[in-house]
Amino acid sequence: MFVYRTITRYNDTGSIKKRHGGGHPTTATSSEMVRKVKARIERNPRQSTVKLAKSLNVSARSIGRILKNKLQLKPYKLQKVQDLTLAQKATRLERAKNLKHLHVGGMLENLVFSDEKIFTVQQDVKKQNDRVWLKCKSNDNLDQRIALRKHAPASVMLTSRFH
């Protein structure tokens, strides 16, 4: 069979090199689908691949291939950061300096530690599941990679103290 195919290929093309274009044609990763995915990701880079796949009626695996292979995007984890004002940052720096001076001067002998658990009403960010699709990490796209937390959201605190 190999010899037959080689002779047939030579008679048809004048060469024994393999013809290109064999195999199953691409459907889900076509250039039209790549354009659709690119437009949707540019509109909302935090959209999950599963939701994107359902809205475009393709498999999540195909969407993942398009994002990684065709568009060269990577899924980055969202970073939780405290939403501090400039005054709050200055206050924190001053308090840290005061604590350092007290420690150096030996004034912190009777220090009390406590275990605390705060339950807050705030946007729930699951670092394992929530991703944002971007080309690279940079300061230009920092606002897309962070999830802000407010200084004083509604919350309940439970404490236990020990010396």
In the prediction, which pLDDT does 77 show?
Answer: 86
Q: Is the pTM of this model over 0.85?
A: no
Taking only the tens place, the pLDDT of each residue in 136-162 is 888 888 878 777 766 667 777 777 665
Report which of 61, 64, 71 is spatially closest to residue 34, judged by C-alpha positions: 71
Taking only the tens place, the pLDDT of each residue in 13-68 is 888 888 776 777 777 888 899 999 999 999 999 888 999 999 999 999 999 999 99
Tell me whether strands 131-134 and 146-149 are parallel, antiparallel or unpaired: unpaired
Say if CB 78 and CB 134 are below 8 A apart. no
CA dist., res. 19 & res. 1, Å (int):
16
| Overall average pLDDT of the 86-94 stretch | 92
Q: How far is CA 109 from CA 51, 97, 98, 102, 104, in A?
A: 56, 17, 15, 10, 11
- DSSP character string of 57-111: TS-HHHHHHIIIIIS--EEEEPEEEE---HHHHHHHHHHHHHHHHHHHTT--SS-
109 token code pair: 């002998």
